[in-house]
Amino acid sequence: MSHWSYLGMGSHGYQELGQDGNGKEVAMTDDGTPRYSFIELFRGLLKDTRRKVYVAVCIFGLGITIALAVFMSRNRPYHQEPSDIQLCGNSTVEALAAGCTWDQLMWAWYPPSCPHYANNDFLSMDDWKFFSNPWGKEVTEVEWEQALDNKLKLFSQHGEHLTHCLFFFLSVGQILRDGTPAPPKLRNYDHLHHCVKMLLPVVRAHENYTLINTKTPSVSYQEYC
């Protein structure tokens, strides 16, 4: 018998050392699989459980975040109206100092970031005149300046009012076409409705209103929203 027999080469002999998933040496069984103690097995199970809980919490949190985002997007108005923001001040002097420009079509001062849309086209339609009273007294330069400071109300001709409505519609069309920013006055549906009521009687009173001279367009099947 070998003089090394006291080391017990049978079931109590040397154990081959392997490495676990973390690079730590562990004892190996006869069939080559790692042999873990009860404490090591418990620690591994605990670690694996924590990992699963962590993943579950992350997935749950992500789901809650997505649900809240969808809910808020559906319940938030497309345009948020700033109630106390006046980028152009409260007077002509303040508006000019802020870099704002006058938009006669919408009777408003616009910040530099706001396009004027159909304003220039509207101005080119006629030499629009304004009056200090309904009886035809044209405004003076002083009265005009007072009007732009909201210290005086002016009067205009009916034709100016109707033309304003037409180019108001054109401005809204440009916004829809280009997807560009729209100031609050151009997003005011009540104003649009008012213009329809202003124009409809004029349209109905036209001498050719009942004349049959218009062909229907081709039916479109390519529309989408």
**What does each of the 225 residues of the chain score in pLDDT, given as a tens digit?**
444 443 444 444 444 445 555 555 555 555 555 555 656 655 665 566 656 555 555 566 666 656 655 555 555 444 445 555 678 999 999 999 999 999 999 999 999 999 999 999 999 999 999 999 999 999 999 999 999 999 999 999 999 999 999 999 999 999 999 999 999 999 999 999 999 999 999 999 999 999 999 999 999 999 999
Amino acid identity for residue 182 in this structure: A
**pLDDT score of 22:** 53
Question: What are the backbone angles phi and psi of residue 148, rounded to the nearest 5°?
Answer: -70, -15
**pLDDT score of 86:** 75
Q: How many CB atoms lie within 10 A of CB 218?
A: 6
SS (H, E, C) the chain: CCCCHHHCCCCCCCCCEEECCCCCEEEECCCCCEECCHHHHHHHHHHHHHHHHHHHHHHHHHHHHHHHHHHHHHHCCCCCCCCCCCCCCCCHHHHHHCCCEEECCCCEEECCCCCCCCHHHHHHCCCCCEECCCCCCECCHHHHHHHHCCCCCCEECHHHHHHHHHHHHHHHHHHHHHCCCCCHHHHCHHHHHHHHHHHHHHHHCCCCCCCCCCCCCCCCCCCCC
**pLDDT score of 13:** 42
C-alpha–C-alpha distance, residues 62 and 206, integer Å = 62
Predicted TM-score of the model (pTM): 0.62
Q: How many CB atoms lie within 10 A of CB 119?
A: 19
**pLDDT score of 44:** 62
In the numeric block, the tokens 């009521």 are attached to 197
Contact 25, 17 (CB under 8 A): yes
**What is the side-by-side strand order in the sheet with 25-28?**
17-19, 25-28, 34-35
Q: How many CB atoms lie within 10 A of CB 12?
A: 8
Tokens of 187: 């997003």
In the numeric block, the tokens 């008012």 are attached to 194
C-alpha–C-alpha distance, residues 184 and 83, integer Å = 11
